[in-house]
Chains A and B, each alone.
Chain A
Amino acid sequence: MTEKTPVLDALTYVFLMAGILIVGFPIIYAVIAATLPIEEVTRVPMPLIPGDQFLVNIKAAWINGNLGRNLFNSFIMAVGITTGKIVVSLFGAFSIVYFDYRLRTVAFVSVFCTLMLPVEVRILPTYEMAANLLGPFQSLWEMLRLDGVARWVAGHDIEISLEWSLLDSYAGLIMPLVASATCTFLFRQFFLTIPEELCEAAKMDGASAMTFFRKILLPLSKTNIAALVVIEFVYGWNQYLWPLLITTNPKMMTAVIGLQHIIPAADDLPFWNIGLAGALIVMLPPVLVVLLMQRWFVKGLVEKEK
C-alpha cells in the first residue's frame, strides 16, 4: 500500500466527476433538448429543466425520419457484418493454423494486408465493383478481344454484357465489409495458445477436422466471439461512408445516414428537439450493446488491437 493522501483522494473524485460530466454532457443536453417544445429549444440559453414533449418529439422523429425502416436496415446491416466477419474469420484462422498447405503463407499475408486498404482509400473503384460485380470479366473480355473470337465461332455478332449490381441491396451493404484482417488475426493468435494435446487427443479419438472445430475450438472461442460481436456490431451499425455511396433508394437507407434529413439545416425551421430525439434513438442500440456486454467488450477491444 502507498501512503494515504486524503486531499489527493478527494481531488481524484472531484476530477473524476468533472470528467464524467464533460463526457456525458452532450448526451444529457441532447436528452433535455429532446423533451422540449421548439420555442424552448431555441431560447438562448436553453433551459436545463426537462419538458414534457419527449414522446411527441420521439414520434415526430420516428415519422419524419422514417426511422422504422431505417433502423431495420441498420439492424440487418450490423447483424450481417458481425456474423459474416466472425464466421469468415473463424474459418480463415482455422485453415491457417491447423492445416499446412502450399499457399498458406500467401493466404495469410493477403488477408493481413487488407488492414492497409480501408474503404476510404479506394472509394471509387470499390463503388464500381459493387455497381457491377462482373465488371472485371467484362473488361477482360474486351481486353482479350474475345468478341472477335466469339463472332468467328458463332458466325454472327454476340453482344455480351455482364452485369450483377449490388447497389441498393443488403448484400452490397454487407459483403464488402465482411473481410477482416483484425478478426482473423485475433482468432489466429487465440488458436495458437490452445494446447496441442487437445488436437492430438481429438485426432486419436478419430475426430475429423470439422468435428474438432465444432466441438472443441468453437466452445473455447466463446468469449472471443462475444467480444467481437460487440465491437463489430458497433462497427457495422455506425458505418457511414459505404452506405452513403451505395444506397440511393430511400428504402435502403441506414439509420445513421437518414438522420441527415431530420437535422435542421441553415434555412429550415430549427426543429432541433426532433433532430436530437432521432439521434438519441439511433445511437441507442450500439450503446446498449456496449453497456450490456461491457465485460467482453473491454477485454476484446484491448486484445484485438494487440
Chain B
Amino acid sequence: MLEGTDVKNSSTSLWSLRAGERCRIESFDDKLAERYRIRMMELGFHPGETVSCVQSPALGAPKVYRVSNTMFSLDDEVAAHIVVSLLPHE
C-alpha cells in the first residue's frame, strides 16, 4: 500500500489526495493488474497527466477526480495504486 507515504516529499498515491489538490501521474504500482492499468490509461489516466481531486466525501466513500474535462469516481482499490506527485495549487 502506498497510503501513508510523505505527501510533501515526493510521490504518494492518488487516493491520498484531498479535495482541491492537484497531482501528476507518475506510474502505477505492481499491485494494479495490467488490464486495469490499460483501462485507466484508456480513460485518460496516463503517466504525465494532471489529475485533480474534486470531491473527497466523508466515511471513505470513493473520491471524484478530474482528468481534462472528465470526472471519474475511483475507490481505494484503484486509486491507492496510482503513484502521483503533488502539484502546487493553481
Q: Do A and B come from one complex?
A: no
Q: List residues of chain B with CB under 8 Å of any chain A CB.
A: none
